[in-house]
Amino acid sequence: MAVVFRLPHLEKYVDTANTSADKEIHMPIDIETFESSPEDRLQHNGETNADRVMQFLAANPDQAFTQSEIRDATGVKAGSISVVLSRLEDRGLVRHKGNYWALGEADDVAAYTSIVESTRTANDRFGEEDMDEWLEHAAADEDTE
């Protein structure tokens, strides 16, 4: 029996139909939004390559894929996919055998999902951290000595 893990904040990356058109992960915006939105609102939306890979593998927990299949399904750049998979493997979130990669063990993935959901809930309640603001108030190295 396959265990399915839901990562609701990444559901748009689920590949349900195995067609090249369905594997596109970019979400278009209307031209009015493009014209009226400040540039910082149109930047990266916080979803990482690791999130994309985990969502894809979580949607297919009973299958293993090659790096190129994962890359094609998630839109992660060819130069990044190996690093992303290796880091996920180091955390126990994916497994690797030969040329194939699969979702990690259920307990490790469940812990990851819990952390992701907790972070999302905290961000929804308190707002996301602004890295520039955080750095502005961070202690400089010379202040810590």
β-partners of residue 103 are: 94
Q: Is 85 helix (H, G, I), strand (E, B) or coil?
A: helix
Number of CB atoms found within 10 A of residue 100's CB: 14
Q: With contact defined as beta carbons under 8 Å apart, do 92 and 105 qualify?
A: yes
- pTM assigned to the model: 0.57
CA distance 88 to 57: 11
pLDDT per position as a tens digit, 81-132: 999 999 999 999 999 999 999 999 988 888 888 887 888 888 888 887 777 7
Q: With contact defined as beta carbons under 8 Å apart, do 73 and 56 qualify?
A: yes
